[in-house]
Amino acid sequence: MNAADLAGYLSTPLAIGKKTINGRMVLAPMAGLGHVAFRELVAELGGFGLLFTGMCSAKAVPRENPAVSMVFRWRNRELPHTVCQIFGADPDVMARAARRIEQEGFFGVDLNFGCSVAAICKKGCGAALLKTPVKAAHIVTSVRKAIQIPVFVKFRTGWSDDPLFAADTAKRFEDAGADALTFHPRVAPDRRNRPPKWDIITQVQNAVAIPVFGNGNLFTREDGIRMLTQTKCQGLSLGRMAVARPWIFARWTREAGFDDTVYHRTARRLLELLGQHYPPPFNLKLFKKFAPYFCANFKFSLFLLKQLNQAKTMDEMKQAVDDLFIPCPETLSVPNLNLFV
């Protein structure tokens, strides 16, 4: 497979439940990064099949006011290609949240069974559910019964490095009614410090007939080609690299070319969109979450990040972005992964 083959494959439609998507490269759910402003930026650049929201609390979703909520917020135009992710531990609560998400018009609902952050696992949510796969499957069944739109499950290898457990659990989720899986082959609570074991993606995809989106350490186009050919997964889910280079979907699926001005333009556009969607100082805080991934693109990444972090207002940040990124500083072919937290 070469770059043109990759573009061709990633542009092949994929059936998910009763719906079909036009591209197989999706934005992974990322709390604090995949907000409505960032999704609008990615939508303008194009090339993706779906965008996932960061995780939303299933308890909060039924009563949440999108005009006030910082997380459960969207543009109506993005609903047909956006999947809302929820976390929770109670099947009824998860079903109620899923109903609201369906009513609002999202493409689908994604169940977070992968987050290994202590605050989430302590409440029995996220990856904690992989300790009780029967209970996790109950949640899938309950959500499946509640809605017609596609149900996705995002999960990881589990709490021990056992490919058989991952494959069995995938089958369990499929039998419970999941329409697609996103699989991140890392053990909890392993964050992102050790490389993911892509071989386990193969076993998970082999265990089910529904599509699996492979996830974890997709940085270069060669990585994308390797994951697809090696694991036979049916789609790619990109997290941190899509934050560093939001045009990566257009690059990989349409072979779109971008000159170096894309870096400055992207940072400036995100600042503008953050200003439209969020009040200060929250919008500045969100830009500072994006900044490490963005600065990782450059040779002097740490210096650039330090400069950006000094900005105290959105106007200061705009000035810093102009000063630092025109002309474009020296870039790296693979970003400085030390900044990919």
Ligand X SMILES: Cc1cc2nc3c(=O)[nH]c(=O)nc-3n(C[C@H](O)[C@H](O)[C@H](O)COP(=O)(O)O)c2cc1C
Q: Which positions are catalytic?
A: 115
Shortest separation between residue 322's beta carbon and ligand X, angstroms = 26
Shortest separation between residue 34's beta carbon and ligand X, angstroms = 7
Q: Assign residue 321 a region (left: φ > 0; alpha: ψ between -120 and 50; beta: otherwise).
A: alpha
Distance, CA of 7 to CA of 35 (rounded, Å)? 26
Cα 191 versus chain centre, distance: 15
Residue 28 binds ligand X, judged by CB under 6 A: yes
Shortest separation between residue 327's beta carbon and ligand X, angstroms = 29
User: CB-wise, 26 or 250, nearer to ligand X?
Assistant: 26
Scan residues 259-318 and list those touching ligand X (CB under 6 A): none
Residue 33 binds ligand X, judged by CB under 6 A: yes
Instruction: Give me the residues paired with residue 15 across strands.
Output: 20
> Considering just the CA atoms, what is the radius of gyration of the chain in Å?
19
Binding letters toward ligand X, positions 7-26, x by CB under 6 A = --------------------
Binding letters toward ligand X, positions 210-249, x by CB under 6 A = -----xxxx-------------------xxxx--------
> Is the CB of residue 131 less than 8 Å from the CB of residue 159?
yes
Q: How far is CA 74 from CA 62, 65, 86, 212, 338, in A?
A: 15, 11, 15, 26, 31
> Is the CB of residue 177 less than 8 Å from the CB of residue 213?
no
User: CB-wise, 115 or 147, nearer to ligand X?
Assistant: 115
Q: Which member of 24, 172, 184, 245 binds ligand X (CB under 6 A)?
A: 184
Closest residue (Cβ) to ligand X? 239
The contacts of residue 113 (CB under 8 Å, 6+ apart) are 126, 127, 129, 130, 136, 153, 154, 155, 156
Scan residues 50-79 and list those touching ligand X (CB under 6 A): 54-55
For 101-133, b where at least 16 C-beta lie within 10 A, e where not — what string? Answer: bbeeebbbbbbbbbbbbeebbeeebbbbbbeeb
Shortest separation between residue 270's beta carbon and ligand X, angstroms = 15
Binding letters toward ligand X, positions 100-119, x by CB under 6 A = ------------x-xx----
User: CB-wise, 136 or 329, nearer to ligand X?
Assistant: 136
Q: For residue 48, report the phi and psi dihedrals to the nearest 5 degrees.
A: -90, 165
User: CB-wise, 96 or 184, nearer to ligand X?
Assistant: 184
Number of residues that bind ligand X (CB under 6 A): 22
Q: Which member of 9, 10, 23, 29 binds ligand X (CB under 6 A)?
A: 29
Q: What is the DSSP letter of 127?
A: G
User: CB-wise, 188 or 321, nearer to ligand X?
Assistant: 188
> Is the CB of residue 341 less than 8 Å from the CB of residue 295?
no
User: CB-wise, 142 or 215, nearer to ligand X?
Assistant: 215
Helix (H, G, I), strand (E, B) or coil at 204: helix
| Positions in the binding site for ligand X (CB under 6 A) | 28-33, 54-55, 85, 112, 114-115, 154, 184, 215-218, 238-241
